[in-house]
């Protein structure tokens, strides 16, 4: 068996052993590699003080918990599932369903997920034809209430159709309401490629909710249905919330079409904001409870008001650049050149700067973990170097920087 295959099977097993975003588990994989991590997690390999120290470092660098109880607690958490591990069976299930498992480093792995840092998923279970998943700039997330109004349905349908027509993939969660209208509109508008992606909270072997079975089957045929949890996993509340970070990370813009004052869609928006993606929202009647969450996003700042497809495309910064894979790698080369000679703090700050949306000094202190004074001084330096630019007092990375 090749090294790659061993890695793949180990990740398949780890995905069943660990809940999404198990930070200790992810740090363990980071330090020891998937194969040895699986050995440690199942008790086949022993632990050491040095390993625990390395995990501590990765956790604190990755913004994880400042204190953690040590591997002992995690091993207890993982132990009950060790007996259920059957990664070969899970991979066979995916083949049978016409799907596959992808892991970081694969050609098919969506690179934008690395923006999640330590929170990058171990792997993705993917049902649908084998084709390249879109880059972030060619993917837009449309999310919102399950109990959408006719207004929300009509706006979502129009947006999804228009985005697919322009070659964008519409990412959503496969749920009732806004999600369903998003997938349906994109399927109707899709001209080529991958019009829509449903990111599931449970395993992709089962179409959930059942009322969307026909729709999700169509998404499988024309688009992609993906999940970070293995076949047979139930869509728990925790997994729904973790799933939202994948929707946010896959897309350049997360558009909240309709949301109540408290709504899962706001959680997706928060994830998007955290990793520097653009958050947009659709205004509606102040008499509609289903727009209260959208107006909250507008009031709390951070969300851009969008009223048509053109404004979303503008946010994605991708007008007329669909399919420009070469251009992106060119940008990356230029970027590493521009980095030369920057101090560590300024590099951290540059990485914290969003490319498309803007970020306030306050937010940058949180994202970069620097003091307000250090952020302000650093922004000044990056501005002088042409690497950062401010718009109405908020900052973003200079294009091509």
Closest distance of CB 266 from its own copies, Å: 15
395 binds its own copies, rule: CB under 8 A: yes
218 binds its own copies, rule: CB under 8 A: no
Closest distance of CB 321 from its own copies, Å: 22
Q: Which of 285, 343, 371, 400 binds its own copies (CB under 8 A)?
A: 285
360 binds its own copies, rule: CB under 8 A: yes
In whole angstroms, what is the distance from residue 373 CA to residue 175 CA? Answer: 44
Q: Which of 4, 114, 307, 371 binds its own copies (CB under 8 A)?
A: 307
Contact by Cβ (8 Å): 200, 279? no
SS3 for 259? coil
215 vs 294 by CB, closer to its own copies: 294
Contact by Cβ (8 Å): 375, 365? yes
Closest distance of CB 21 from its own copies, Å: 27
Give the ranges where 62-149 is alpha helix by DSSP (H): 71-82, 87-96
156 vs 233 by CB, closer to its own copies: 156
390 binds its own copies, rule: CB under 8 A: yes
Q: Cis peptide leading into 209, omega within 30 of 0?
A: yes
Phi, psi of 305 (to 5 degrees): -75, 120
Please state, as a whole number, how many other Cβ atoms lie within 10 Å of the Cβ of residue 1: 7
Q: Which of 45, 292, 347, 355 binds its own copies (CB under 8 A)?
A: 292
Q: What is the largest CA-CA distance in the chain?
A: 61
SS3 for 216? helix
Q: Which of 57, 362, 399, 400 binds its own copies (CB under 8 A)?
A: 362
304 binds its own copies, rule: CB under 8 A: yes
In whole angstroms, what is the distance from residue 175 CA to residue 170 CA? Answer: 14
In whole angstroms, what is the distance from residue 397 CA to residue 350 CA? Answer: 7
Contact by Cβ (8 Å): 140, 253? yes
93 vs 358 by CB, closer to its own copies: 358
SS3 for 3? helix
Q: For the segment 113-152, give every residue that binds its own copies (CB under 8 A).
A: 151
360 vs 398 by CB, closer to its own copies: 360
Residue with tokens 């591990």: 85
In whole angstroms, what is the distance from residue 65 CA to residue 222 CA? Answer: 41
398 binds its own copies, rule: CB under 8 A: no
Q: Which of 291, 312, 388, 401 binds its own copies (CB under 8 A)?
A: 291
Q: Which of 8, 295, 396, 397 binds its own copies (CB under 8 A)?
A: 295
In whole angstroms, what is the distance from residue 401 CA to residue 399 CA? Answer: 5
191 vs 286 by CB, closer to its own copies: 286
56 vs 365 by CB, closer to its own copies: 365
Q: How many residues bind its own copies (CB under 8 A)?
A: 35
**Element at 230 (helix H, strand E):** none
114 vs 307 by CB, closer to its own copies: 307
Where does this chain bind its own copies (CB under 8 A)? Answer: 151, 154-155, 282-287, 291-292, 294-295, 298-299, 301, 304-308, 311, 359-363, 376, 380, 390-395
């Amino acid at each position: 068996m090749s090294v790659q295959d061993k890695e793949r099977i180990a990740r398949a097993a780890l995905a069943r052993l660990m809940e999404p975003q198990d930070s200790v588990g992810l740090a363990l994989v980071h330090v020891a590699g998937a194969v040895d991590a699986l050995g440690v997690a199942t008790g086949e390999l022993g632990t050491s003080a040095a390993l625990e120290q390395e995990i501590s470092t990765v956790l604190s660098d990755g913004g994880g918990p400042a204190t953690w109880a040590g591997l002992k607690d995690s091993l207890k958490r993982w132990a009950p599932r060790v007996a259920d591990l059957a990664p070969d069976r899970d991979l066979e299930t995916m083949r049978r369903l016409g799907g596959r498992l992808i892991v970081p480093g694969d050609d098919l792995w969506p690179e934008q997920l690395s923006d999640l840092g330590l929170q990058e998923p171990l792997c993705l279970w993917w049902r649908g034809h084998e084709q390249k998943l879109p880059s972030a700039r060619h993917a837009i997330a449309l999310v919102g209430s399950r109990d959408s109004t006719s207004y929300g349905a009509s706006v979502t349908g129009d947006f999804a159709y228009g985005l697919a027509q322009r070659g964008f993939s519409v990412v959503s969660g496969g749920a009732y309401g806004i999600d369903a209208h998003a997938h349906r509109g994109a399927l109707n508008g899709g001209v080529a490629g991958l019009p829509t992606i449903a990111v599931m909270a449970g395993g992709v072997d089962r179409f959930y909710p059942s009322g969307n079975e026909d729709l999700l089957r169509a998404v499988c045929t024309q688009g992609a249905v993906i999940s970070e949890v293995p076949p047979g996993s139930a869509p728990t509340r925790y997994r729904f919330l973790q799933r939202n970070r994948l929707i946010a990370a896959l897309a350049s813009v997360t558009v909240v079409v309709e949301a109540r004052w408290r709504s899962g869609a706001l959680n997706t928006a928060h994830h998007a904001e955290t990793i520097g993606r653009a958050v947009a929202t659709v205004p509606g009647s102040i008499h509609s409870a289903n727009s209260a969450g959208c107006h909250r996003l507008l009031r709390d700042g951070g969300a851009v008001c969008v009223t048509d497809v053109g404004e979303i495309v503008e946010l994605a910064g991708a007008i007329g650049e669909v399919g420009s894979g070469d251009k992106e790698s060119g940008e990356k080369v230029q970027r590493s050149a521009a980095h030369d000679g920057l101090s560590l703090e300024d590099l951290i700050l540059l990485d914290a700067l969003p490319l498309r949306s803007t970020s306030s000094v306050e937010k940058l202190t949180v994202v970069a973990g620097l003091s307000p004074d250090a952020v302000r001084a650093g922004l000044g330096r990056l501005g002088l170097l042409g690497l950062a630019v401010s718009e109405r007092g908020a900052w973003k990375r200079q294009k091509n920087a």
